[in-house]
């Protein structure tokens, strides 16, 4: 489980599909010249599904008054109902309904999130940490930038929260994250070792190609001997034009069966493992600007023109590696701390979805 999912941001992300169910963007369409198109009669907007709020309340009533418990505290069923009810209503308006099992599953999941956040907040405060409102404001601005301020306000309302309540939760989440970060130490040489052991993460290739595709390759069919021969002969025509000095991009546009022909065969930049093995192995042996002999793969025969292979320096990626390693260590530590707290505090979620 990712450390970030422990925090309340997971609950916010989970709420987004409900909150935005009727906000799906439609692709922009350019208006046709009015002289050429007769205006069609406007279609009536589809009727919004009728929402049976009484039925929703009846399902929510199955959530017990104490949704989760631990030594020194509890999560109330009211808190879970207040969070879920407006989301379920909005979802129903958009035509999405939940059955009893799905609702109780969502309720149990949210109760667990709230319980863990409460327990981790207690642990962080016991170590001298305090809610970080500055970090909360920064996170809130990032959320608004990513989703739009108006959509975020609707999301908050749909979750049954106020902006002040959300900011308090975010400040608490930032405190918990700071607590875990203080507990994690990455060895100085760990980043360099990761860099040396994983060159594939820091290497990028660039290449163009001309492809003569086997009949049936898109369906995964193997070529017959005659099909193989004919495909190779087709590529050899392109190969001859290249030998005669014709521009690679022009030959690709004329002869290639790959959509990349529209870009002169340019495949752009890609990482190790993104191309089929035969293609990549041939490319590794080539220098920038070099053109290969025909290379056979499962798709057909290729002529490859090598671009520049780049390997990021350690200094360029050191900070990213350290963040990655720190995140891994935080995930491990979070699991250990959570398991320990749950055992010590006898923490338990009391919502049980009905058995099928």
Q: Are residues 329 and 249 in the same domain?
A: no
**Can you spell out the DSSP letters for 121-156?**
HHHHHHTT----HHHHHHHHHHHHHHH-HHHHHHHH
pLDDT at 307: 96
**Quick check: is 39 in a domain?**
no
CATH of the domain at 242: 3.10.50.40
57-104 residue pLDDT tens: 999 999 999 999 999 999 999 999 999 999 899 888 888 888 888 999
Q: What is the C-alpha separation between 61 and 81, in angstroms, rounded? A: 8
Q: Are residues 168 and 267 in the same domain?
A: no
Average pLDDT over the chain reads 85
**Quick check: is 345 in a domain?**
yes
Q: Are residues 229 and 163 in the same domain?
A: no
**Quick check: is 251 in a domain?**
yes
Q: Are residues 342 and 302 in the same domain?
A: no
Mean pLDDT, to the nearest integer, of 337-347?
94
At 46, the pLDDT band (50, 70, 90 cuts) reads low
pLDDT at 24: 32
Q: What is the C-alpha separation between 63 and 79, in angstroms, rounded? A: 10
Q: Are residues 332 and 293 in the same domain?
A: no
294-313 residue pLDDT tens: 999 999 999 999 999 999 99
Q: Are residues 8 and 135 in the same domain?
A: yes
Q: Are residues 207 and 300 in the same domain?
A: yes
Length of the chain: 356
**Quick check: is 356 in a domain?**
no
More confident residue, 169 or 16: 169
Q: Are residues 79 and 220 in the same domain?
A: no
Q: Are residues 284 and 333 in the same domain?
A: no
At 113, the pLDDT band (50, 70, 90 cuts) reads very high
**Quick check: is 109 in a domain?**
yes
CATH of the domain at 121: 1.10.4030
pLDDT at 354: 64
What are the E-state strand segments in the chain? 66-70, 73-76, 203-213, 266-270, 295-296, 300-306, 310-311, 348-349
Contact (Cβ atoms closer than 8 angstroms) between residue 104 and residue 353: yes
pLDDT at 159: 81
Long-range interactions of 263-270: CB distance < 8 A, separation 24+: 264/208, 265/208, 265/209, 265/210, 265/305, 266/208, 267/206, 267/207, 267/208, 267/209, 268/206, 269/204, 269/205, 269/206, 269/307, 270/204, 270/205, 270/206, 270/207
**Quick check: is 302 in a domain?**
yes
Q: For the chain, how many structural domains are there in total? A: 2
Q: What is the C-alpha separation between 354 and 9, in angstroms, rounded? A: 28
Quote the domain boundaries for residue 84: 3-20+51-187+319-349
């Amino acid at each position: 489980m990712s450390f970030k999912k422990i925090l309340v941001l997971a609950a916010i992300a989970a709420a987004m599909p409900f909150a935005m169910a009727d906000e799906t963007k439609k692709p922009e369409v350019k208006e046709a010249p009015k002289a050429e198109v007769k205006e069609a009669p406007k279609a009536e907007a589809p009727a919004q599904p009728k929402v049976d709020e009484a039925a929703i309340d009846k399902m929510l009533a199955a959530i017990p008054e104490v949704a989760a418990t631990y030594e020194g505290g509890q999560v109330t069923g009211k808190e879970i109902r207040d969070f879920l009810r407006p989301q379920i209503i909005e979802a129903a308006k958009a035509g999405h309904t939940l059955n009893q099992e799905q609702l109780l599953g969502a309720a149990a999941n949210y109760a667990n999130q709230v319980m863990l956040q409460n327990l981790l907040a207690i642990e962080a405060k016991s170590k001298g940490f305090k809610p970080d409102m500055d970090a909360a404001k920064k996170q809130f601005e990032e959320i608004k930038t990513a989703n739009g301020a108006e959509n975020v306000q609707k999301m908050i309302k749909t979750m049954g929260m106020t902006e002040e309540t959300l900011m308090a939760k975010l400040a608490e989440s930032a405190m918990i994250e700071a607590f875990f970060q203080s507990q994690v130490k990455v060895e100085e040489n760990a980043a360099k070792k990761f860099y040396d052991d994983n060159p594939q993460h820091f290497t990028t290739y660039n290449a163009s190609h001309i492809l003569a595709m086997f009949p049936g390759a898109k369906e995964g069919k193997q070529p017959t001997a005659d099909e193989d021969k004919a495909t190779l002969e087709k590529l050899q025509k392109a190969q001859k034009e290249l030998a005669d000095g014709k521009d690679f991009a022009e030959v690709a546009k004329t002869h290639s069966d790959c959509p990349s022909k529209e870009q002169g065969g340019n495949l752009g930049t890609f990482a190790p493992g993104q191309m089929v093995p035969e293609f990549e192995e041939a490319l590794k042996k080539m220098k920038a600007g070099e053109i290969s002999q025909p290379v056979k793969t499962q798709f057909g025969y290729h002529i490859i023109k090598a671009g520049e292979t780049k390997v990021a320096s350690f200094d360029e990626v050191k900070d990213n590696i350290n963040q990655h390693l720190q995140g891994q260590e935080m995930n491990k530590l979070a699991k250990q701390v959570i398991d320990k707290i749950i055992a010590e505090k006898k923490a338990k979620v009391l919502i049980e979805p009905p058995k099928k």
